[in-house]
Structure formats: structure tokens, C-alpha cells
Amino acid sequence: MNMTKKTLLLTALLFAAGSTTAWAAAPNDPLISNQSYLQQIHAYEAWDIAKSNTDIIIAVVDTGVDLEHPDLKDNLVPGANLVQPGKPPMDDKGHGTNVAGVLAAAADNDKGIAGLLWNAKIMPIKALESDGTGDEEKLGEGIRYAVDHGAKIVVLSLGLNKYSSYMSTIVDYAEERGVLLVAAVGNEGNAVRYPAAYPTVLAVGGVGKDNKAEPLSNSGPEIDIVAPWDVFTTAMRGTYTEKNGTSLAAPQVAAVSALLWSIHPDWKPYQIRNAIRQSAEDLGAPGWDPVTGFGLLRADRALSLEYKDDLFEPNDTSQSAKPLSINSVVDASFAGAEDIDWFVVDAPYDGVLRVQLTGEEAGLKGRLVYYADPVSNGVSYPDGLESGIDIPVTKGKSYLKLQSQGAPKGQGIYHLKTNFSMNPDVYEDNDRQYKAYVLPDRSQVVVGTFHAYQDVDWFAMTIDQPGTLKLKLSVDTARIDPVLLIQRKGGKEIIIDERSDGETETSMPIDVTPGTYYFRVSNITDYAYPVVGEYMLDIDFSTRYEDPNEPNDKPYQASLMELGTGYQGVLDTDSDVDWFKFKIDAESLVHFRLTDIPADRIISIGVTDASLAAQQTERVETTPTSTQLEAKLAAGTYYVKLTANRSFDTQLYTLTVDAEPLVAGFTDIGGHWAEEAITKLTGRQIVNGFAPYRFGPDRTLTRAEAVAMFVRAFGLKGGQATYSDVPNTHWAKDAIAAATRMGIVSGYEDGKFRPDSPLSRMELTAMLAHALGFTPRNGPAPYTDIDDSYWGSGILRTMKAEGWVQGFEDGRFLPGSPATRAQLAALLARTG
């Protein structure tokens, strides 16, 4: 169909089966046991009250009806064929026949099945093609034909996703003439289709045999009622079949409406809608909800319950506020001047809620107070409610308080109409290319709306480097048929449009060069009405980088590196190899750090010397995006070779090489005041590091470390010493035993040695004095922070006199301060 001429695809909404037991009002139709949905809606009880309505005409605007079906032909009146004017409205699809059977297959005629209406006047109007599709002009023409030719109810088991001002006018035309429209919501698990979504149309969803909402039954703020999804009904050529879908739920509601009119012929359409709603069996959350509406159709209750002008009472307080759809027309009443009606609405987005209150009788007016929450200060709208007021609302629940104003005694039936519209998105005003919202040149997701008539959104991105661009446009409602346009400034337009409501539009990867690119997001052009919903524009931009170090594919082309500087590059083909070289002037611990590796790539690092002989490296750390290696290398020139398991050019890796010169195999003693001593002792294998390539000269010395160094320095061996905290597995057990035997060290009074405790300056001095064989001397204390009674005073006098220790410039020794590894190394180096 030509979508550019204001036509839309109207998809007929299809259905399936049932069973029953004996009832007083049960007809004798032989296949009625297959119609289980009759029990779900309590049709048998309803038939005890009313079975037929031949006083009104019910139009079925669909694919036509099988005019010769034995279970239908007696209930048919002349209709119209709008697809092939002049021909009878014979069904060539079967869908209309399915609908008509649920509505009014002749009952108690000892044939086939029983329609909800045993006897009726059904007007078949063929407005859909044989494939079940059509356009809105034919649909509108069908409704108008039905209204103009005496129909009181029009059944519409079809739908489209787009709002149409033309169709809205047709719906109003029917309402103004007292005609009730009943429509299926659709079967896509999405938004309610039009015409069901128009406020005055009774919108019907579907439930399964367990009375739970069918997942594929459309839902939303427009739904009124649900009815069984599975039916057994009439089919083409005089047959019967199982069907399922909201198409077969809608005629059930239409039939019960006709039964209501048989009892209350003077009722208006709003009263029929009100009776259907208030008699429904609540299925979901209490009151109306957007999945099951007011609940399950109950034919028995619709015909027997006492009619209420206000189905929402009691709702006189915020605590008793009743759920109200954001897109509907509902009917209620003021019981008096003091009557207050509270409602709660649930907005799906930030936006504007338009509220209009009109009285059934002239002169009724109302005042409204809006509350963001029940305990907040309300915003009063004392005037204008009869013509409509716009209330800014935020996403979530908020409250409306209504009260009569100006009517005699404050009484009267009112009609409350709500309509929700979304706020403009944050990118507005960007409806023209020259107003395009400028986006950064990176991957991102843009979330926008179509908040106004013919709203389109333009975006611009200025790209500085070559790369690849891929766009995906998705929506959260079938009411949007997204269209994506991509254009390089001054270049050819690329339009991506699958012409399918609610479907995602995806571009192929596009190679882009530096320049400005425009993206236009729109709803299908001819039907760009405001939509409650969002689109998501997912922009995937990958920069394509060039390697600044090329050519460096061979060792003789290797890029010369400065230590400590990061070098970036890419491996843009599967055979690409990147070579780098660097030089160290002394033996060093060399660190190789490769970062910014693409998450789905593996880059291998090889290190060779000048003869290209591989050097052994040790892996220090590996993450999905980085690798660190280190190697102990002698002075000389070295090469680094990078290869990848798969090429990439959309991200730059970074290679950094650092070198720490080694002194005596350590990186942390060069330039230290104890460098010479540590080097000397390392050569004699008296001291070693606490970690690979680390001596830790300024680390606090433990008692076990000190003992081990003493034992090695003085060549001590043998001995037995048992301490409760030195197990046989302790690394310094033998050294502690040897030092104890020689009297260099001893334990504490509690029998412990405390090998891992810090060694103090006094303890270190005492150990050295014992190892050298010095004895304590008498005399005055040698340092200001030592008195004569201190246990180490004599040792300090001896060691100071012999020139082994000295205090600080202020005259103190600080005997309790921890000794360091460098201090011990310096003392042991003097022992020769």
C-alpha cells in the first residue's frame, strides 16, 4: 500500500477454543461445549436475564461476513462492500466471519454454536482486503456508513498504530450520534492500537483461560476491559474453528453492550461503557490498571448489578483515591456540593496532563487541585476545567482532587477526560538541519521524543579522524515507525526505513572521513503526530588510527625509544609487526608496560638483544587491556617486537619502557649512604634482598634478619636454642640457635625470641659488642638520654670509646629507635 498517501496498514487481529456444562438457559447448539469462554464471562447466567436484541443494528467493520453461513444468515441485515462497491460484503478472509460468530451466531437452533446474542441484526461492512489489510480512509468510511445507516454499535476488530486526526473526527462523529464503538486493543504485546486508543472507544484486551492477561494482548492507559482470548466460532463456508486474539474478545463486549441496551434502550453510550466497566471482575491491582483495565467482562453482572453514576466511589480522601488513566474519558458524579473525588494517575514520563471536566447537564463546573504527592502542597486550578487545563507532571504517581463548583446543589454527572503528552527532549529545538544538536565525536546513546506534531530531530557530529560509523535507531512503542537519515555535509542522503511500526532501524557500517555528519530521526512523515514514547539512537563510532611509527615492520626499521616515554601505534593488518629499540648504559631492571590493548585482542611482547637473541622476561601483571613484563638486562641495545592475534586500527596501544640501574643486583641502593657497605656484603653473600631486586636499606630490621646477617658475617655454626615462638619451620631457626650459642643474642624472660619484632638501636649495638667480644665499661652515661642504671649503659660506653657507634648532634642516642638494614650493613662491613 502507498504509505505516503495517508494510508496505514490495518492488521486484522485474530483468535481459539472452550467447553461448558448444563444450564437452565443453555441453548441446544451441538458445538457449544467448545465455547468455554461463555462460562468465563458467565454468559449462561446473563441469558436468564436477556438473550437477544433485534431492536438495534450492530455493524461489523471487517473483512465482510460469510453471508450464507447457516449459523449467521438469519441474524444478518444488508451491509456494504467498500472494497468492491456494488458487490455484497462477502467475506474472503474469514476474519469478519469469526467475529460475527462470537457476536451473534444464531442460538438454540440445533446448529453449530451459540453467539452471545441469540438473535440480532448484524450489518456486515467489508472495509478490509482479502489479506486483512486496509487503509484508514476505508476504516473511517466503514464507521461513518454504519452510523449513517442506523447502527447503534460498531465492532472494530482491527487496528493501526498511528493517531489520525481524520479517524479522531470519525470517532467523535459516532459518539455525537449516540453510537458505541467497541475495538480490539491488538495482539503485539505493545501499545493499544487505534481506534481502540481513542477516548470514547471501548477498548478490549484479552485474557487466557486462567483469566490472566495474555502477554501478547496490547496494554496501556487506553484499555477499558478484558475478555477471553480463546474462542470457538464460525468460519468460512459454513464451518467452525478455534481462534485467538483480542479480535474475538471485542465482539464479546459488544454483545453484552447490546444486551444492556435491550434492557435499557434509553441509555447513552457513556452509560453502556460505565456499566461494562463497573460490573467487571477486578483482575489486577485494585481498580483500573493499564494491563487489564477495569477487569474481566462479566455478562451476568453487567445485566444484574445496580447501575452507579459514579463507579469510583468511595474516593473522598487521598487514601481512597482511585486509579485514573492518563488517556481516557470516564464518567462519575458529584453527590453534592461537599462531595470530593480523589484520583491517582501514574505518568510514564515527565510531561503534561491535560484534564477536562464537562457535565452531562449544562451548568456543572468543577475545581481541581493537583498534588505531586498526597502530603505536599497542592496547586489549585479553580477555573478553566470545562475547557481543559494543562498540568505539568513528573514520572510516577500524582493526585487529582475534584470538587463541584457552580452547579445547583453541587450535584451532577460529569465526564472526566485526560490526555497525556510528553515534554520536549533535552535536544530541542533541533527540528531543522541548521539547528542540529551538536554531539561529541564518540560512541553514545541519544534518547529523544516526538513531543509535537511533525517533530523531527536533527543531530550533527564533526569527525576529526577517519573511522567507522554505525547507527541503530530503536523505539519503545509501536506507535513510532522510526526513520533514520544519515548525511555527510554536502553529500548524498542515506535513508534507512524498514517501514515497520516499532521496529529497529540499523545502518551498515559506514567508512567516514573528517567532516560534519548529520543524523535525522523522525516518525513516518505523513503521520508525525505526538507520541508517548521514546526513541534510542545508538551511535557506534570507531576512530581508524594510523600508526605514527611506521614503517617499523623490520628490526632495522625499529623506532628508537626514549626510556620513560610512551609510544603509540596500531597493528592494522594480520601480518603487521611493530619493532622498537632502546639502549641502557648499565645493568638494569627493565620494565615493559603495554596498555590500551583492545579488549578483544591479544598483543604479544618479544624482547631480544642486538643479535636478535630472545631475552628472558618475567610477567608481572596481565589484565584484559594491559600487560607488564620485566627483565634483568646487561648494558647494551635491545629490541621490542609487538604482534597481535588479530589486526586493529580503531584504538592506539601505548608501549612504555623504563629502566632502573642495578647496583649489587638492587635497584634501591644506588646513591644511598650505605651503598658501598651493602655492595661489599652482597659480594660476600652476607646480605640479600627482602624482595627481587630490592634491598630496602631504610626498612626496619627484624631480630631474625639481624641474627642471620651476624651469623653469615662471623661464620657462626651450630648450637641449640629452643624458643616457643621459633618453630622448626622458621627460616632463621639455625641462625638464631648459632647466635644464641655464641652469646650474641638471647631470648626474653617469657621464653620467646620474637623473631619478627623490630630490632632497636641498643639491641643492635649489644649484638655487635657481643660478637666482637667487647665487655661493658664503668663510668658516666655516654649520651644525654641514657642514665647509669640503663642496662646497656656500659656497652654503649665501650662501643663509643672503640669508635663503633656515635650518637646524634643533640647528644642523644635514641636506644629504643628501630635499627635499619642499612645501619647493620654498615657496621658489619667494618668487621672486615
Give the Cα separation of 233 and 115 in Å (integer): 8
Give the Cα separation of 253 and 275 in Å (integer): 11
What one-letter code names the amino acid at 26?
Answer: A
Radius of gyration of the chain from Cα atoms?
45
Give the Cα separation of 39 and 298 in Å (integer): 10
Query: Strands 351-359 and 411-422: what pairing?
Result: antiparallel
Residue indicated by cell numbers 449516540: 178
Sheet containing strand 120-126, edge to edge, reads 80-81, 120-126, 53-62, 151-156, 180-184, 202-207, 225-228
**Any idea what the Cα angle at residue 682 is, between residues 679 and 684, rounded to 5°?**
115
Cell of 657: 619502557
Nearest one of 359, 367, 357 to 403, comparing CA atoms: 367
358 with 415: CB under 8 angstroms? yes
- With b for 16 or more beta-carbon neighbours within 10 A and e for fewer, the 465-491 pattern comes to eebebebbbbbbbbbbbbbbbbbbeee
Give the Cα separation of 57 and 149 in Å (integer): 9
Give whole-number Cα distances, 335 to 6, 307, 407, 677, in Å: 46, 15, 11, 103
The three-state DSSP-derived secondary structure of 567-614 is EEEEECCCCCCEEEEEEECCCEEEEEEEECCCCCCCEEEEEEECCCCE
Distance of CA 244 to the CA centre of its chain: 32
Contacting residues for 511 by C-beta, under 8 A, at least 6 apart: 466, 467, 468, 544
Helices (H), ranges, 305-404:
none
Give the Cα separation of 312 and 295 in Å (integer): 14
Instruction: Indicate which residues carry an active-site annotation.
Output: 62, 95, 247
Q: What are phi and psi of 740, to 5 degrees?
A: -65, -45
**CA atoms within a 13 Å half-sphere pointing along the CA-CB vector of 168:** 8
Query: Strands 603-609 and 588-595: what pairing?
Result: unpaired
**Any idea what the Cα angle at residue 196 is, between residues 193 and 199, rounded to 5°?**
120
484 with 463: CB under 8 angstroms? no
Cell of 651: 584504538
Give the Cα separation of 78 and 632 in Å (integer): 100
DSSP E strands in 336-427: the ranges are: 340-347, 351-359, 365-371, 379-381, 389-393, 396-405, 411-422
